[in-house]
A and B are shown apart, each in its own frame.
Chain A
Amino acid sequence: MALKYCGGCNPGFDRVAYVDKIKFAAGPAIEWVTLDEEKFDAVLLVTGCDTACPRRSLDLSEYKQSLLINNDKASPQEIVRILLEREETNED
């Protein structure tokens, strides 16, 4: 899973703390990399607000699977479930 953050000019939630919780909930089930690395199955884009600035230059449709998070309303476990489900779908 490639993790990509927005710049964080005025985020509505603590993106890093939320991602840490997601990573903890995922445990070894997900291996985290960055977009600069070559091999990944999906992209998790974490943005501090609805504007989601990276989408100006990052076309998520270019990736097989992607998920955009712009708030911390869903439980980290729920996010992990969605990510793993998508990965399974991708494998099919």
Chain B
Amino acid sequence: MKIRSKEDYIKSLKEQKVVIYYKGELVEDRTTFPAFVPHINSAAKTYELALLPENEDLLTATSNVTGKKINRFTHIHQSVDDLIKKVQMLRLIAHETASCFQRCVGFDALNSLYMTTYEIDEKHKTKYFERFLEYLKKIQEENFMLVGGMTDPKGDRSKRPSQQADPDLFTRVVEKRKDGVVVRGAKAHQTGAVNSHEIMIMPTQAMAEGDEAYAIVAAIPLDAKGVTLIFGRQTNEERKFECGIDAGNCEFGMVGGEALVVLEDVFVPWERVFMCGEIDFTGMLVERFATLHRQNYGGCKGGVSDIVIGASALAAQYQGTLDASHIKDKLVEMLHLAETVYSGSVACSAMGSKTKSGAYYPDPLLANCTKHNITRFIYDISRLAHDIGGGIMATLPFDKDLRSPVVGKYVKKYMKGVEGVSTETRMKILRLLENMTGGTALVESMHGAGSPQSQRIMYQRLGKLGQKMKMAKKIAKIDE
């Protein structure tokens, strides 16, 4: 692996000049820009932890393509054990960052493409799988971070891609050349984009006849001509610039550091194209990517919830309420919810199966169930954290007030909880809770990896309702 350490990772980002805009301004150096550093620190953990003997079982794997030891984030799942280790790894890293570490999206793109390109070739006699294997080898060798570029802006949701007033609202091929294709459009909410090396663009939904130009999968380096990133605003993000208590979690991100990735007539050579017009496989690819991504959420959000639960217990301890029976009960409820979401991720992994390509795939119904629980339980956990933490979480004075030579003494005196715990310590834990349980962090739980309705559609498709009706009839002894 060429990129091994955090230092290697940052150096590689510095060497690749990407056009990124933040608050209307072009960013000169993405590796030192204060809004991006916390996200870089989070993603860097996926490199750093892989070098530690106490974590290598989860963070590394043996490539089925080259036989070499690789970072698990570039691995193709070869067994149910690999699927479970993925979930365990996500929980572990979340304990280190208390935020999204972004790299699972590209990981899921690689796995969904490995299994889908194999089946496209089987039907259409194309050469996508062979091409993809060469690309995969490069990603594993370089240990690159990849953006999983699925979500298109989509414009008017009631219309198909080819029916939109502006045809660019879904990413499409505008020109096919002898040596490649020219792509135009955009990918929205792209997690980890500003600190990644490449983006893998994929269709955002199942395509129908007439939408062939939109059935495009291609790997694009983020410094390719025509690629522009516009960073998304997050709740209280500029508190991190102060590097003080008010940020809550100053070192790491809040969510994934999402960006709008604009593709303005970007040329992609054929060796980087893994689907072009095969509308009959767009639905399969989207479903597989979504399942692999929804599998994750009990791992990473379970891990993040562990930090929220710990912080809630500390907040209670610092204000003398930890032994109150209702607080204990609320903490138990939070533990129950966190382990429930983790159980879902482990379950869909344990029930995974082998695809035609040999790669393993989680149970799609259980993976969707896992993500659907996230859209509820992370809100419930956050609600309980607010309940335990108290209104002070939302009304604390500034860090600068605490340090003020004039009013600092009042903040220290009136914001204090139990004896033996400083006001600063209490403020730190309350700010951490505030950071992790509101605003952007919650919306990510709702819509990341697909909005709740997209999971409910999968329930309708995979839930075997007809079979359940038959079973009920049998028990009730109904013959008609």
Binding site for B on A (CB under 8 A): 3, 5-10, 15-16, 34, 46, 53-54, 56-57
Residue B59 CB within 8 A of the other chain: yes
Give the distance in Å from the alpha carbon of A6 to the alpha carbon of B95 in the complex.
16
Pick from A3, A10, A53: contact of B57, CB below 8 A: A53
Determine the residue in chain B with the shortest Cβ distance to A51. B88
Complex formed: what's the CA distance from A8 to B85 in Å? 10
B55 close to A (CB within 8 Å): yes
| In the complex, chain B residues whose CB is within 8 Å of the CB of A5 | 53-57
Supplied contacts A7-B56, A7-B89, A8-B58, 15 more A-B pairs, CB within 8 Å: A5-B54, A5-B56, A6-B57, A7-B58, A7-B85, A8-B54, A9-B58, A9-B87, A10-B88, A16-B54, A34-B53, A46-B54, A53-B57, A53-B85, A53-B88
For the complex, what is the distance from the CA of A5 to the CA of B87, rounded to whole Å?
A: 18
Instruction: Name B residues whose Cβ lies closer than 8 Å to a Cβ of A.
Output: 53-59, 81, 85, 87-89, 91-92, 95, 303, 306
Query: Within the complex, what minimum Cβ distance (angstroms) separates B276 from chain A?
Result: 39
Choice from A7, A53, A54 contacting B59 with Cβ under 8 Å: A7
CA distance A5 to B60 in the complex (A): 13
| Most chain B beta-carbon neighbours within 10 Å: one of A7, A16, A46, A56 | A7
Name the residue among B53, B54, B56, B89 with the largest chain A CB count within 10 angstroms. Answer: B54
Roughly how many angstroms separate A87 CA and B115 CA in the complex, as a whole number? Answer: 49
* Residues on A with beta carbons closer than 8 Å to the beta carbon of B53: 3, 5, 34
CB distance from A44 to the nearest CB of B (A): 12
Contact of A9 with B89 in the complex, beta carbons under 8 Å: yes
A-B contacts, CB under 8 A, total: 43
Task: Give every chain B residue within 8 A of A8 (Cβ-Cβ).
Answer: 54-55, 57-58, 92
Which 7 interchain pairs have the tightest Cβ spacing? A7-B58, A9-B88, A7-B57, A5-B54, A9-B92, A9-B91, A16-B54
The one of A3, A7, A16, A57 in contact with B92, judged by C-beta atoms closer than 8 angstroms, is A7
Contacts of B81 in A (CB 8 A): 56-57
Measured in the bound complex, the distance between the Cα atoms of B81 and A20 in whole Å is: 29
- Residues of B contacting A15 in the complex (Cβ-Cβ under 8 angstroms): 54
Cα of A54 to Cα of B55 in the assembled complex, Å: 12
A10 touches B92 (CB 8 A): yes
Q: How far is the CA of A54 from the CA of B57 in the complex (A)?
A: 8
How many angstroms between the C-alpha atoms of A23 and B85 in the bound complex? 28
Q: How far is the CA of A38 from the CA of B383 in the complex (A)?
A: 53
A3 cross-chain contacts in B, Cβ below 8 A: 53
Task: List, sorted by A's number, 29 A–B pairs whose CB atoms are closer than 8 Å.
Answer: A5-B53, A5-B56, A5-B57, A7-B55, A7-B56, A7-B57, A7-B58, A7-B88, A7-B92, A8-B54, A8-B57, A8-B92, A9-B58, A9-B87, A9-B88, A9-B89, A9-B91, A10-B88, A10-B91, A10-B92, A10-B95, A10-B306, A15-B54, A16-B54, A34-B53, A53-B85, A53-B88, A54-B57, A57-B81
A56's nearest neighbour on chain B, judged by CB, is B81
- Shortest Cβ distance from A14 into B: residue: B54
List A contacts of B303 (CB < 8 A): 10
- Complexed CA–CA distance, A22 and B89 (Å): 26
Closest residue to B87 on the A side, CB-wise?
A9
Q: Which of B55, B85, B303 has the most CB of A within 10 A?
A: B55
CB distance from A15 to the nearest CB of B (A): 6
Task: For the complex, give the distance between the alpha carbons of A53 and B88 in Å.
Answer: 10
Shortest distance in angstroms between A6's beta carbon and chain B's nearest beta carbon? 6
With CB as the reference atom, state the residue of chain B lying closest to A34. Answer: B53
* Cα(A6)–Cα(B88), bound, Å: 11
Q: Report B-chain residues with C-beta under 8 Å of the C-beta of A16.
A: 54
Complex Cα gap A56–B83 (Å)? 14
> Hey, which chain B residues are within 8 Å of A46, CB to CB?
54
Task: Give CA–CA (A88, B443) in the complex, Å.
Answer: 60
The residue among A10, A15, A53 with the most chain B CB atoms within 10 A of its own CB is A10
Query: What is the chain A residue whose CB lies nearest that of B84?
Result: A53
Contacts of A56 in B (CB 8 A): 81
Min CB gap A25→B, angstroms? 19
Assembly CA distance A16 to B49 (angstroms): 13
Bound: A53/B162 CA distance, A? 50
CB distance from B312 to the nearest CB of A (A): 18
For B339, the closest partner residue in chain A by CB is A10
Query: CA A56 – CA B58 in complex, angstroms?
Result: 13
B182 to chain A, nearest CB (A): 44
